[in-house]
Structure 1
Amino acid sequence: MGEARVNGRAVNKKASPELIKYFFPYFTKPAQAEILFRDDTAVEYGNKLVTKYYRTNAGGKHHIHIASQLGLLADIFINAKVIDTHIRDIADLLHPKHYDNIIKAIQLRCGYNNGIFKSPTTASNCCTLLLKVGKFLKCEAIKRIDNIAEKRYVNFEYLLANSQNHDITRQAQDNKTQFQRQKKEILPSTEEINGLLKVLDIEVTSAYEKACSNFDPESYTALAKASLAYLLVFNRKRPGDVEKTQLLEIRSMARVDQEHLSKLPGDDKKHAEQFARYITQGKLNKKASNLIPKKVEQAIDLLVQKRNEIGIPTENQYLFARIGSSSTRLPYFKADEALKLICQRNELNYNRLNANKLRKHLATCTAMLSSNVQNIISDFMGHTMAVHQNVYQQKQAHTDIVVMGKVLLEASGVSQNDNLAPDLPGSSKTHLDLDDHESLRDEPFELSTILEESNNNVEIKSESRFETKRKILNTISIPRRTSRTPEKRGIRNLFQEYIEDLKVPPIHEVQDILVNKAPHISRNITKVRSWIHAEINRIKKRRCGTRVHRWTTPERHKVRDHFRTYFDGFKETFNRNYPSNEELNEAIKTIPEIKNKSAALLRSKIQHEFRDIERLQHTELEAETSFSSESS
């Protein structure tokens, strides 16, 4: 064992300095510390996590992830040790003979009782973690050329990968889905969010005035937390997308230039002058855009100008940096903690106003907007459209009742005067009109296209089955919406540079151009991009001279006359004797009408002529046979 000690405990000599300094102080529980500080596998795997995720210039970006992985590994071993006291260490635990004990340890750790996991997500994470540790130990065994250990870890990995589904994962996933269905998602109201923004506005203004009069560590902390919480709430971002903002990103913030500003209408111009935008690193290394109001921008300028006066280290490049440095703390303020503190101080319900609830509120209240606008919103929030619709947009009862209630009644032919028709909120009509919701759909939809079955029995004959199917398909199909000439001309002008360079623009560029320069075009961005792709393909075909080779009647006559001996011989023997390449090339030089044809094309034409002759003779033979039979 080495001489290094953490919290009064000796640390394994294999532990890296970063692991000792930044991560081991997290573990204050004696049982966890005893395992992680002394076990060779835990220390070596921790070193690997530090090497893989931790970077000095990231300033502890992955502190929580690494610490949670090591803590979970220690918990699994502790529970397995309770079940079987003969298990020596983590390397001994990952053995096929201990598989059943591992499953029991995971169930014990995650509160499994009567087929229900108390923490189903943690149960799935335990299996994933053990697979990663098993692969790590297998790689180390390969390095040592230890075939016995390698085979053992390969068998354990195979056993866990193929058995965890029915032992842990499936039950955990079922429990997680059941919890989500039973959980009632209560989103904040617009009035609550507006009240929170007013409180944050007062907090920023008060902290800014105090910092201007006396800039000390206390006023700096208050101003940084108030500005951080305001940006989090206003932009509806994940906490990490705001709290990890760096100075370099703030210095490169952008505004709407004068050229675009002069083209905007009054309201849009007013909004454009009110905000600035900067881009930071979001989840999965994606770009995350944040808007900064003018009042918050003034506070941020003050934080940047005087950060050196209160002792913030130079190497700490985070905008909302903590004062001083510590191995057990992140180098920046946490956005969710700042928001929670302000909510508690102003007697607001933080559980209804946290970042996740605010993001779901934005996605849900904009669910009825067009697909183009929803694409912009999902991109700004930092996730895909599928995540936006399936995770953040919440199914609201009033949407299904009001919108789908009217649609289903109209489709069923039930009017509101009938007994089957319920009283819908906000409706005083005696007949339901789907045109009330015309703005809610992108494509035209007519209920008259729904096929109504007749009460009469319809007999479908076998010889007319195809025609009947075609009639049905024509009845229920919706006419395809084709592009009009003005739309094509407008799209071609907008993306002229891409089309001339024969490059298909990325989807986000198409989205930006359509929103900023052509809001009148109602086409979906994917359809516009597909049209550009097709236009580029048409240009490529025209440039390379691609066309269908067709033979004119004079050309066919010349070919038949020149190669008559071959055609006459085929009529007599039906043996296909083709002319040689020399004869083909000589014919091309001799016959002016086919001088632009190739030898291969001419040979193909002769082959087609053979087929025509053969088909003609078969037809004549069948005609003679039928005539003789009728005469007899």
Structure 2
Amino acid sequence: MREDEVCKVVRYDELAILFGNRLTVKFKSPHHYDMIRAKLRLIGRFLLALESEGVEVQDFQDALRPQRFDDAIKGINAVAGLRNGKYSSPATAFSLGLLLKDATKLLITECIKKEDNQRKKNAQDFLKLLESELNASINKTVTENWSERQRQKKVILPSREDIKILITFLHKKRKRLVENLKETFSYHDWLELSKSTLVSILIFNRRRPGELERSTIDDYNGYVKIDSLTNKEIYDPLSEEGKKCAREYVRFRTRGKKGRTVPVLLDKFMNVCVDVILKGREEAGVSKTNPYIFGIPTDHKTPKYLRAYRLLKTYAEDSKAKCLSTLKSTELRKHIATTSVKLNLAEFEVENLQQFMGHADKIHKEYYRQPLVERDILNMSKLLTFAQGDRSEFHDIAANNIDQNVELPVEESSQEHTAPDSPTANISRKVYKRAWSTPEKKCVLQCFHEDIRKGVTPSANKYSRVLAENLVLHNRNITSLKAYINNLINRRDKIPERTQARRNYWTTPEKKAIRSEFSHHIQNQRYPSMTECRISIEENPDLQRRTPKKIWHIYIYMFIKWAFPHIFRVNFSQFGIFCALSHWCQTTTAPGRQFGT
């Protein structure tokens, strides 16, 4: 923390020091140290703001009393720059409110340890005031100011031309550096190759800078690829274009925001560049204890690594792109999210993109995906014109400007259903679906065999587990998998016949009825006739659900089991054997006659 008035205020403040120590225990990674320093400086700015407002407080603890609540609100407003009902920094006001809550909870904990009941009661009352009054006093204004800023903020996304200029510049630079390093090692070339490779991977994957710059060597060593040796079931059904793509890229996974695991794709040349970087680490003087791929030498014990966001800005300037302000990591992420809207991707493809980018669904749609002005003007204007009653004008322009879906690998296509009076009813739109491959179908039938046989929809947890454990289903999501299984359940002809077989087991009352009705036949070793079987069904309620043929079959089974108990050790699960045997008896011995006569 730099030496200034803010640092002097918090340096010897007991609660501020305890708060900082607690944060260092919770956040152990070195990249969190900047965040901890920022929170401590925010405490110092808050105390200086109270002093400037004429509030005399001894320390941070003294400010967290119910009597000081109104003064605390004034301090938050002063730090966040409240002017004419608007904050110059809404995020600071919101963060400071949360910080005061956390600090008050910590103070309560310390009071409990010291058995200081009076100070604990004051802190609890102050916390209640924060929870009840902060939303009305601070957070409502923060939300309104933030929404207004987002609405008035003009977001300019990077153009594909500028992105291509930057990518070409970096590719040429990396190619030259790799050739130089293969001839002779130079620390300058090695460092420049590390920088340019980091930025190239960031632009291609549209990852957050911190995710890539903190990727570890262990993460990289666990990379996987698709080929005939490692993933034969996935590789073989692919088309030639798909196999070419599979040979070109590898994937490793690293830690993303909030502990999420996010993928990183590398093409062949990026893979070569990373290998060259790792090979030259020892000559470059990078410590063996430095776990990062893009680690750099340092005299400190804490490992250091390259900072991607600074390098991206530097290379954007060196590449002589036209609009430098748009070539930033967040704008690049917004660009790919917005491009997916223009392509009219299917829902499952949007979900795949969200998972790859490490976005929550709401954040992806509300923050990264920008509204398209061409869609609002060209498409919505048609619907509004139609609603005004000008039907002819709508039909004149609809066919020329309506969005066209991007064709995907298809097996079958379906026509979207529109209402007869809908303005788009006369416009043909095709929805393309990805065909289920044979390995995918086999995997689904194997994993959900019992659910399909019973006609029961599996749980969401089972869907997620099966998708995670089976690489062959990597192109599917829960929605498509659920739809496919529901179709199998509804159309039983798609299921192998063995999964449809349902045995109608004989109950104990039915067995007793058979013994009672045909005991005379068993003693005399005679077959019952079909007429006798029909009569037994009519007279005995327990046999109503059986046919005469079934009665005759079970009689044969019971007789053989009684006559030859040591030879035929069978049960009802082997009923098919005796059906065949009874068929042989029928063809050799007429009903009503004795065996062997």
Do the structures match in fold with TM over 0.5?
Answer: yes
Measured at CA, do residues 253 and 446 of structure 1 come closer, stay the same or move farther in structure 2, by a change above 3 Å? same
Distance 1:237 1:506, change over 3 A: farther
Partner of 1:151: helix, strand, or coil? helix
Question: Which ranges of structure 2 fall in alignment gaps of 5 or more residues?
Answer: 408-413, 424-430, 452-457, 505-538, 546-597
What is the Cα deviation at residue 66 of structure 1?
1.5
Q: 2:103 aligns with which of 130, 133, 138?
A: 133
Alignment-derived partner of residue 254 in structure 1? 224
Q: Deviations over 1:343-395 (max 9, x none)?
A: 22333444201011111111111112111211111111111333221111110
- What pairs with 1:484-503 in structure 2 (closer than 5 Å)? 493-500=442-449
Output the CA distance in 2 between the equivalents of 1:41 and 1:275: 52
Given that 2:379 and 2:401 are in contact with CA atoms closer than 8 Å, whether structure 1 keeps it comes out as no
CA-CA distance at 1:531 after TM superposition: 5.9
Map of 1:571 onto structure 2: none
Query: Quick one: distance in 1 between partners of 2:466 and 2:324?
Result: 38
Indicate whether 1:272 and 2:272 are aligned.
no
Q: CA deviation at 1:180?
A: 0.4
Quote the Cα distance in structure 2 between the aligned partners of 1:343 and 1:86: 50
Residues of 1 paired with 2:405 and 2:123: CA distance? 60
The CA distance in 1 between the partners of 2:474 and 2:206, in whole Å, is 26
Among candidates 176, 187, 191, match of residue 146 of structure 2? 176
Partner of 2:355: 379
Q: Alpha-carbon deviation of 1:129?
A: 0.7
Task: Tell me how far apart the structure 2 counterparts of residues 542 and 145 of structure 1 sit (CA, whole Å).
Answer: 70
Partner of 1:403: 379
Is the deviation greater in 41-50 or in 529-538? 529-538
- 1:201-248 CA-partner distances (Å, limit 9, x unpaired): 122223323333443432222111111000011111111221111001
* 1:107-118 mapped onto 2 (5 Å cutoff): 107-118=77-88
Task: State the match for 2:319 in structure 1.
Answer: 346
Q: In structure 2, which of residues 394, 405, 408 is the aligned counterpart of residue 439 of structure 1?
A: 405
Residues 68-126 of structure 1: CA distance to partner in whole angstroms, max 9, x if unpaired? 21121221112112223520111111111111121111111111100110110111011
C-alpha distance in 1 between matches for 2:400 and 2:135: 47
Bigger CA drift: 282-291 or 262-271?
A: 262-271
Equivalences for residues 614-629 of structure 1 within 5 A:
none
CA shift for structure 1 position 409: 3.8
The aligned counterpart of 1:365 is: 339
Q: Which amino acid aligns with 2:318?
A: R
* TM-superposition CA deviations, 1:28-66 (whole Å, max 9, x none): 142122123211111111111111111xxx4x1312221
Q: Secondary structure at the match of 2:304?
A: coil
2:479 equivalent among 499, 509, 526: 526
Secondary structure in 1 matching 2:224: coil
- What is the aligned counterpart of 1:593 among 541, 547, 551? 541
Partner Cα distance (1:144, 1:534) in 2: 65
Matching of residues 518-557 of structure 1 within 5 Å: 525-526=478-479, 528-529=481-482, 532=485
Q: Following superposition of structure 1 onto structure 2, how do residues 314-325 of structure 1 map, counting pairs within 5 Å?
A: 314-325=288-299
Comparing 96-105 with 148-157, greater Cα deviation is found at 96-105
- For residues 503 and 379 of structure 2, the distance between their equivalents in structure 1, rounded to whole angstroms, comes to 53
Q: Please give the residue correspondences for 1:71-86 in structure 2 after superposition, counting only pairs within 5 Å.
A: 71-86=41-56
Q: C-alpha separation between the residues in 2 aligned to 1:435 and 1:342?
A: 38
Task: Provide the C-alpha distance between the structure 2 equivalents of 1:263 and 1:304, rounded to a whole number of angstroms.
Answer: 35
Which amino acid in the other structure matches residue 383 of structure 1? H
Change (3 A) 1:108 1:545: farther
Query: How far off is 1:266 after superposition?
Result: 2.9
Partner of 1:122: 92
CA RMSD of aligned residues (A): 3.7
Q: Distance in 1 between matches of 2:469 and 2:334?
A: 24
* Matching residue of 2:589: none
Distance 1:342 1:181 in 2: 31
| Equivalent position of 1:430 in the other structure | 396
1:88 counterpart letter in structure 2: Q
Gap change, CA 1:352 and 1:145, over 3 Å in 2? same
Give the C-alpha shift of residue 438 in structure 1: 6.2
**Secondary structure of the residue that 1:448 maps to in structure 2?**
coil
Counterpart residue number, 2:583? none
Note the C-alpha offset of 1:506.
3.6
* Structure 1 residues 251 and 527, CA gap change in structure 2 (3 angstroms): closer
Secondary structure, aligned partner of 1:68? helix
Q: Please give the alpha-carbon distance, in whole angstroms, between the structure 2 residues aligned to 1:525 and 1:42.
A: 47
The equivalent position to 1:206 in structure 2, one of 143, 167, 176, is: 176
The residue number in structure 1 matching 2:67 is 97
| 1:33 matched to 2:7 | yes
Look up the equivalent residue of 2:307 and give its one-letter code: K
Question: Which letter maps to 1:305?
Answer: K
* Aligned partners of 1:510 and 1:529 also within 8 Å: no
What residue in structure 2 maps to residue 569 of structure 1?
none
Q: Return the TM-score normalized by structure 1.
A: 0.68
Cα distance per residue 1:164-183 (max 9 Å; x no partner): 11111110110000000001
Shift of 1:300: 0.7
Are the counterparts in 2 of residues 49 and 66 from structure 1 also a CA contact under 8 Å?
yes
Query: In the comparison of the two structures, how many residue pairs are matched?
Result: 476
- Aligned to 1:432, what secondary structure does the other structure show? helix
Match of 2:187 among 217, 228, 236: 217
1:334 aligns with 2:307: yes
**SS at 2:58's partner residue?**
coil
Q: What is the percentage of aligned positions where both structures have the same residue?
A: 25
Q: 1:406–1:434: 8 Å Cα contact kept in structure 2?
A: no
C-alpha contact 1:84 1:101 (8 A) present in aligned 2: no
Structure-2 separation of matches of 1:70 and 1:189: 40
* CA offsets 1:279-308 (integer angstroms, 9 cap, x no match): 111111111111112222111101111212
1:528 CA drift (Å): 3.2
Q: In the alignment, is the contact (CA less than 8 A) between 1:416 and 1:432 conserved in 2? A: no
> Deviation per CA, 1:297-345, whole angstroms, max 9, x where unpaired?
1111011112122221222100000212437x87211111111121223
CA distance in 2, matches of 1:93, 1:332: 40
Answer yes or no: is the 8 Å Cα contact 1:411–1:447 preserved in 2: no
Per-residue deviation at 1:515?
9.1
Contact residue 372 and residue 511 of structure 1 kept, 8 A: no
Shift of 1:410: 4.6
For the residues of structure 2 that align with 1:39 and 1:297, how far apart are their CA atoms?
Answer: 50
Preserved contact between residue 359 and residue 392 of structure 1 (Cα < 8 Å): yes
